[in-house]
Amino acid sequence: MKRIIISEDEKKDILSKYTDNIDKSLLLYLRRNFPVSTVTLFDDIKMKKLTIEDKWYTVEDNKSYLTKKLKLEVQDVFPSLSEQLLVKTIRYFLDLILTSDY
């Protein structure tokens, strides 16, 4: 698997689609409760992994699955947020992981 390298403009473009459509308290909760680490594989391939319930998940290949899984994890903690706002914030969190040196 090769990692795609994107430019700074592309990173800004990806993250700009979430402007004003995220909940900052949920984002903070996600950052604090779901640790992210970078694992270096052979040939200097770096993969970002997210921990959910003491299990590691690769972010690059599982964005849709992780969105659903995280939604199930946080919807009881933030019952007043709409489903759309939950999903947008979770997607922003995952894109933030993928586009930055988290």
Q: Check if the beta carbon of residue 89 is closer than 8 Å to that of residue 95.
A: no
Of residues 95 and 12, more confidently modeled: 95
Domain extent, residue 50, equals 20-99
Whether 8 is covered by a domain: the verdict is: no
The CA distances from residue 42 to 57, 67, 72, 102, in Å, are 18, 28, 34, 20
Contacts of 96 (CB under 8 A, 6+ apart): 15, 102
Whether 10 is covered by a domain: the verdict is: no
- State the average pLDDT over residues 33-46: 86
Whether 15 is covered by a domain: the verdict is: no
Phi and psi (nearest 5°) for 99?
A: -95, -5
- pLDDT above 80 for 10: no
Burial class (CB in 10 A: 0-12, 13-18, 19+), 93: buried
Which pLDDT score, from 0 to 100, does residue 94 have?
A: 93
- The total domain count for the chain is 1
- pLDDT above 70 for 19: no
Whether 87 is covered by a domain: the verdict is: yes
